[in-house]
Amino acid sequence: MKKFTLLLVALLFITGSNYAQRNFAITLGTRSVSYSGRSIQLYYRDESPAPDNFYTNINLSSNTLYNFGFSFNRFTPDNYYVGFDLDVYFSAYFAASLGASFGVPFYLEDNRRLRFVPMISAGLGLYRKDLGVLENNTTWIQVNDIQFDDYENVSLSLTAIYGYITPSFRTMYQLKPNVDLFVSLGYAITFEGSPDVDFGGNSDGESVVATEELGANNIAFYVDNRRTNDSPFNLSGFEIKIGANVRW
């Protein structure tokens, strides 16, 4: 909950301080993601009086994120591009990020409608990766002080805050005096914080979430049959976006 609150505060700050920017852009795109192995399982030993060892296989069938985003941006009198961005990603993960972009546009001498913009973007985000379901083989599953209902399975997900830097190259075409169409290609480099594993289920008939640090002794990933306490997922990857930029 603290992670979502942090992002919400940042969103309100960026939106409020940049309401009067000249341009508004909407983007659609895709990003490739990667896994550190071909076979990944999550191991967990629960903390009930009669603990069980649980394993769950992670679905690795998707390695693509789909993007929807928007930004407030403008071109300064010195001919610099400055933008403030909100991006949402879904499919292999769910992720949301807030950041800023900076670029220097270049024009062709005989065609001012065509603009080339080398850019650099940076910011913070939060991702959530669905890990599947822990099947209950005994009376109940216990995570820290939370005891889930008898004979109930528990869903798992991995969450973490991450930072990113994305160098990119954008080509913009002025379709109308107040509308630009663009396509951009970049590579997102991400820096992940310490991830947590969230356990979701019912306790006393109410929906609850328990959290376990990935570095805890009773939890670990197995990547190609080798144990690791690090996240085997990587959000870094090539990214392509198309969009429209509207001036008002």
Distance CA 230, CA 246 (A): 43
What total of structural domains would you count in the chain?
1
For residue 176, what are the CA distances in angstroms to 65, 69, 139, 180, 208? Answer: 31, 22, 66, 7, 52
Give buried/exposed letters for 37-48 (b at 16+ CB in 10 A, else e).
beebbbebebbe
**CATH code where residue 158 lies:** 2.40.160
Phi-psi region of 237 (alpha: psi -120 to 50; beta: other; left: phi over 0): left
* pTM summary value: 0.82
| Dihedral pair phi/psi, residue 25, rounded to 5° | -120, 145
Q: How many CB atoms lie within 10 A of CB 225?
A: 8
Q: Are strands 146-147 and 106-108 parallel, antiparallel or unpaired?
A: unpaired
In the structure encoding, which two tokens stand for residue 56, read together?
A: 């769950």
In the structure encoding, which two tokens stand for residue 29, read together?
A: 């795109």
Instruction: Please give the residue range of the domain that contains residue 198.
Output: 2-247
Helix (H, G, I), strand (E, B) or coil at 15: helix
Q: pLDDT tens-digit profile of 146-173?
A: 888 888 888 989 999 999 999 999 999 9
| Dihedral pair phi/psi, residue 76, rounded to 5° | -75, 165
Whether the Cβ atoms of residue 133 and residue 42 lie closer than 8 Å to each other: no
Query: Quick one: CA dihedral 11, 14, 18, 22, positive or negative?
Result: negative
The amino acid at residue 115 is R
What is the pLDDT, as a whole number, of residue 3? 54
Helix (H, G, I), strand (E, B) or coil at 22: coil
What is the pLDDT, as a whole number, of residue 133? 85
Q: DSSP E strands: which ranges in 7-153?
A: 23-32, 34-35, 40-45, 53-57, 64-75, 81-91, 94-103, 106-108, 111-134, 142-143, 146-147
What is the pLDDT, as a whole number, of residue 75? 78
Per-residue pLDDT of the chain (248 residues), as tens digits, is 455 455 545 554 454 444 444 889 999 999 999 998 889 998 988 888 878 788 888 888 889 999 999 999 987 766 789 999 999 999 989 999 999 999 998 887 677 788 899 999 999 999 999 988 888 877 888 888 888 888 888 898 999 999 999 999 999 998 988 899 999 999 999 998 888 999 999 888 889 999 888 888 889 899 999 988 888 999 999 999 999 999 87
Q: How many CB atoms lie within 10 A of CB 133?
A: 14
